[in-house]
Amino acid sequence: MRSLAHATRDNEKLIQQAKHWLESAGCVAAVTGAGVSAESGVPTFRGKDGLWRNFRAEELATPAAFQRDPLTVWQWYQWRRGLIAECQPNAGHFALARLEQKKLDFLLITQNVDGLHEQAGSGKVCRLHGSIWVVRCISCGKEQEEREAFAELPPRCTCGGLLRPGVVWFGENLPAEAWREAEAFMLRCEVLLVIGTSSAVYPAASLAPLARQCGARVVEINLELTGLSAQADAVLAGRSGEILEELIG
């Protein structure tokens, strides 16, 4: 059996290797998931304390669930909004904002809806799953940012229609423009960081294999192995905040 010291030394070597790839690359992309915000206190979806352990996605995060019971869906989103409002960006979010400054050609793609990347100073974030701070009227289609807790649930638009959270639910398409941009970047990035995602949800999970096919080095940062790990050029095991600080400086 390999010792912990061995594993730690291997991880250190891999971090140095990935650092070298990152420094020599002109075009870099990062795909982030819930694990990046875990150190800020935002719950992830899968795994030991994941939201989908205690809540049923089909009752809370599908268009059918909203049609059936908008109040229950909104109570869950209002709870999550309150929880996220108390959270601050962590070292990983800040490191990625610095990476954007260092690289001329960089795209940060996130599945997260919490807005912590933007709060950490990332100027351009390609949001594949929308934002929990945006609401959209299901009647007139008007979209607006709303950070305050709603006094009444479910909230309504000035036109009288029901407002829904501006996030992508299961069974819905990703925002077309964001997806196009993310996919196009995979064709030309030289290094792709895949951070804190179980790589279980498609189509987001198809980005890394596509980048790899097109010649990018894929570097995964995660606490555990995922469905992507076997295809990654380097798997850096550990907390994303700590690893990203070391990798990016």
User: Catalytic residues, which ones?
Assistant: 129
Q: What does R_g of the chain's alpha carbons equal in angstroms?
A: 19
Q: How far is the CB of 26 from ligand OAD (least distance, A)?
A: 26
113 CB contacts (<8 Å, ≥6 apart)?
Answer: 127, 129, 130, 131, 132, 167
Query: Measured between alpha carbons, how far is 8 from 32 in angstroms, rounded to an integer?
Result: 23
Q: Give the interface segment with ligand OAD, choosing from 44-52, 70-78, 118-126, 147-155 (CB under 6 A).
A: 44-52
Is residue 111 part of the contact set for ligand OAD (CB under 6 A)? yes
Give the residue with the Cβ less far from ligand OAD, 122 or 198.
Answer: 198
Query: Measured between alpha carbons, how far is 35 from 39 in angstroms, rounded to an integer?
Result: 8
Contact pattern for ligand OAD over residues 201 through 220, marking x by CB under 6 A: x-------------------
Is residue 34 part of the contact set for ligand OAD (CB under 6 A)? yes
Q: How far is the CB of 67 from ligand OAD (least distance, A)?
A: 17
Of the candidates 77, 69, 26, 74, the residue with the CA atom closest to the CA atom of residue 51? 77
What is the side-by-side order of every strand in the sheet holding 234-237?
125-127, 105-110, 27-32, 191-195, 217-222, 234-237
Give the residue with the Cβ less far from ligand OAD, 111 or 131.
Answer: 111
- Total binding residues for ligand OAD by CB under 6 A? 27
Query: Measured between alpha carbons, how far is 167 from 176 in angstroms, rounded to an integer?
Result: 13
Is residue 244 part of the contact set for ligand OAD (CB under 6 A)? no
Is residue 166 part of the contact set for ligand OAD (CB under 6 A)? no
Give the residue with the Cβ less far from ligand OAD, 44 or 131.
Answer: 44
What are the phi and psi torsion angles at 163 (to 5°)?
A: -90, 145
Is residue 122 part of the contact set for ligand OAD (CB under 6 A)? no
Strands 143-145 and 163-167 come out as unpaired
Give the residue with the Cβ less far from ligand OAD, 3 or 173.
Answer: 173
Contacting ligand OAD within 71-110 (CB under 6 A): none
Q: How far is the CB of 201 from ligand OAD (least distance, A)?
A: 4
Query: Measured between alpha carbons, how far is 145 from 159 in angstroms, rounded to an integer?
Result: 16
Q: Give the interface segment with ligand OAD, choosing from 70-78, 158-166, 186-194, 195-203 (CB under 6 A).
A: 195-203
What are the phi and psi torsion angles at 47 (to 5°)?
A: 90, -175
Is residue 70 part of the contact set for ligand OAD (CB under 6 A)? no
Cα distances (Å, whole numbers) of residue 199 to 13, 34, 42, 153, 207: 24, 11, 18, 33, 9
- Which positions touch ligand OAD (CB under 6 A)? 33-35, 38-39, 44-47, 50, 61, 111, 129, 167-168, 196-198, 200-201, 221-224, 226, 239-240
